[in-house]
Amino acid sequence: MQLSEHDSTDTYLIAPSPGASKLTRAVEGVDHEGRVQHLNVVEERPLTIFLNAQEIVTAMTIGDYPEYLALGFLRNQGMLRDGETVLCVDYDDELDTVVVRTDGQTTYEDKLKKKTRTSGCAVGTVFGDMMEGLEGVRLPDAAVRTSDLYTLAHRINTTPSLYLEAGAIHGTVLCEGARPLVYMEDVGRHNAVDKIAGWMLSEDVGPEGKLLYTTGRLTSEMVIKTALMGIPVLASRSGFTAWGVEIARQVGLTLIGRMRGRRFVCLSGEDRLIRDADPALVADEDRQNKRKGGQ
Amino acid sequence: MQLSEHDSTDTYLIAPSPGASKLTRAVEGVDHEGRVQHLNVVEERPLTIFLNAQEIVTAMTIGDYPEYLALGFLRNQGMLRDGETVLCVDYDDELDTVVVRTDGQTTYEDKLKKKTRTSGCAVGTVFGDMMEGLEGVRLPDAAVRTSDLYTLAHRINTTPSLYLEAGAIHGTVLCEGARPLVYMEDVGRHNAVDKIAGWMLSEDVGPEGKLLYTTGRLTSEMVIKTALMGIPVLASRSGFTAWGVEIARQVGLTLIGRMRGRRFVCLSGEDRLIRDADPALVADEDRQNKRKGGQ
């Protein structure tokens, strides 16, 4: 898909649907003063992903865009290769399954044997050759205008979202210039990235000129995933780990953390920045738009 | 280990070591005004856990308490059974490996075949029978004084920690009454819980009368893990998912979320609460002690 210059520059192609009925549930609690509270709480449900006849994984997800999640997961795990044709993606909402059918031979069984438990997660695994693919990564040139960064942060933070509605959820946004294109949310932050990868694969959108924004921390796994997706710029309102920074520098990814109001810090690939905005003229974050400090 | 009544009620048995040299690294970045910043950033390094001769998993961790992490991980995965004797735990800091040797036969190979990708994580897995153990769970009786909750939250939030020093890290604290006993931090929040489980196993400390506090969200996996550890109360400053609440109610776990200053909300097991503190007399959180909103 070629993004037309005539597209509105401030309209999402996909925005969050905080009002969608299946994504949240009313839950009753009792507050500090003993008052009954009716809370709108995000769902978390299992989705089992199959590649051809093989069951691969069961993901815990809010449940939107299961096809994109399955495609993006398989792609980001290296289980769907370049040139492999996806014949169909079948979602069954009663069985909570997605089956991705391809014309290729899979090599994932060996991958499943070697697992790395990753940061920010329960019992996470990165399949064995996640790091291996990095040597070949060459990220496209990109220019990052700080004026665009500030515009993006403001647009994303003021977009109605499940996070603002119910909290306890991560967001990831694929952006181009000052425009947020696709805003995905999920209880697992990597699900949100995978849904974006699945959308890019489905719509044939390349990583050139893109920036990935995440509400989550910039750990090694997030940096690796972004680099393997070919996206040259990764930004977050949260912090970062030393190894995340180190890998970003190795692969030439522009890494921007702690992006809040006028503040940010660039940890890697600073040469891509075009400082065309005066930070003094940027408003501090509205209090109401601040993340609620959830982890 | 029996905790003596003569122990100081406000002294940690294990507290964070924010000054420890191997846990953070100086990283250079450039801020929004183009100034070079020298930042103290948490480490993230691989630790490969072996059970007897079998490689089980590679965890990404800040690197402290590798023996507790390995023991707690294996225990929480059901790979170390009740009654199984741990003969030794060998950590090799050059190879980044921990080997746990037992006298038992392991059944983990079947477990490794079935994986569930969990919330809040990259490519997480919960091994197949994580949910299965829940039917047999019977959590001990417990009384939770709200005065203790407020004291705990204040003590934990004002304890010098890697989080306050460098950010981008999760904390989990094992507590008893108003006393925080063991405060573990890690890049992966489940690592922090596993380190506590490993400490409990090593020191023969039971779950009776304990409360687990986490900075992270109360997702299904966190609720399941706490219940399987036998701890009757789980509290967090963050939010929760609908399924997390549902499981807590099923197993009779007292679940308390959004604990900030005088506020909290009890989602499950409210009958354990003894409301002996007047919320109006509790100070709101100091601004400086607020989590920085990182995910």
Q: What are the b/e assignments for A5-34, b being 16+ CB within 10 Å? A: eeeeeeebbbbbebeeeebbbebebbbbee
Nearest to A242 among B37, B44, B225 (CB): B44
Residue B264 to residue A215, Cβ atoms within 8 A: no
A238-277 pLDDT per residue, tens: 999 999 999 999 999 999 999 999 999 999 999 999 999 9
User: Could you tell me if residue A138 is inside a domain?
Assistant: no
Nearest to B219 among A31, A44, A117 (CB): A44
In angstroms, the separation between the Cα of residue B41 and the nearest Cα of chain A is 6
Q: How far is CA B80 from CA A266, A284, B107, in A?
A: 44, 51, 9
Here the CATH number for the domain that contains residue B68 is 3.10.20.10
pLDDT of residue B265 exceeding 80, the answer is yes
B183: closest CA among B207, B208, B214?
A: B214
On chain B, the residues whose CB falls within 8 A of the CB of A167 are 238-239
Restricting to A residues 8-37, those with a Cβ less than 8 Å away from any Cβ of B are 24-25, 27, 29-34, 37
Query: Which tokens go with A18?
Result: 């905080």
Of A132, A160, A176, which residue sits at a domain end?
A132
| Parent domain of B168 | 144-289
CA B162, CA B289: separation in Å to the nearest integer?
A: 13
Tell me: do B82 and B161 sit in the same domain: no
User: Could you tell me if residue A258 is inside a domain?
Assistant: yes
User: Could you tell me if residue B32 is inside a domain?
Assistant: no
Element (H, E) at A256: strand A254-260
Displacement of CA A68 from its chain's centroid (Å): 12
Q: Which amino acid is at B211?
A: L
Q: Is A238 on the interface with B (CB under 8 A)?
A: yes
Tell me: do B56 and B154 sit in the same domain: no
Residue A215: closest CA among chain B residues belongs to which residue? B295
Tell me: do B85 and B204 sit in the same domain: no
Of A110, A132, A154, which residue sits at a domain end?
A132
At residue A107, the pLDDT reads 56
pLDDT of residue A177 exceeding 60, the answer is yes
Tell me: do A107 and A212 sit in the same domain: no
Of A80, A97, A132, which residue sits at a domain end?
A132
Tell me: do A225 and A161 sit in the same domain: yes
Tell me: do A165 and A283 sit in the same domain: yes
User: Could you tell me if residue B252 is inside a domain?
Assistant: yes
Tell me: do B284 and B154 sit in the same domain: yes
Residue A293: closest CA among chain B residues belongs to which residue? B293
CA A267, CA B203: separation in Å to the nearest integer?
A: 41
Tell me: do A85 and A211 sit in the same domain: no
Tell me: do B101 and B167 sit in the same domain: no
Restricting to A residues 32-91, those with a Cβ less than 8 Å away from any Cβ of B are 32-34, 37, 39, 41-46, 57-61, 73, 77
At residue B10, the pLDDT reads 61
User: Could you tell me if residue B54 is inside a domain?
Assistant: yes
In angstroms, the separation between the Cα of residue B87 and the nearest Cα of chain A is 25
A47: closest CA among A71, A27, A13, A12?
A: A71
pLDDT of residue B126 exceeding 70, the answer is no
Query: What ipTM was reported for this prediction?
Result: 0.84
Residue B31 to residue A265, Cβ atoms within 8 A: yes
Q: How confident is the model at residue A204 (pLDDT cuts 50, 70, 90)?
A: very high
At residue A9, the pLDDT reads 52
pLDDT of residue B120 exceeding 50, the answer is no
User: Could you tell me if residue A39 is inside a domain?
Assistant: no
Here the CATH number for the domain that contains residue A196 is 3.40.140.10
Tell me: do A79 and A114 sit in the same domain: yes
Tell me: do A245 and A173 sit in the same domain: yes
Q: How many CB pairs under 8 A join A and B?
A: 284
CA A208, CA A294: separation in Å to the nearest integer?
A: 32
Contacts of A212 (CB under 8 A, 6+ apart): A172, A173, A174, A175, A193, A196, A226, A229, A231, A233, A234, A235
Contact in structure between A171 and A62 (CB atoms under 8 Å): no
At residue A128, the pLDDT reads 46
A125-157 pLDDT per residue, tens: 443 445 667 888 889 999 999 999 999 999 999
Restricting to B residues 164-193, those with a Cβ less than 8 Å away from any Cβ of A are 166-168, 170, 187-190
In chain B, the number of structural domains is 2
User: Could you tell me if residue B202 is inside a domain?
Assistant: yes
Tell me: do A182 and A116 sit in the same domain: no
User: Could you tell me if residue B236 is inside a domain?
Assistant: yes
Tokens 């506090």 belong to B213
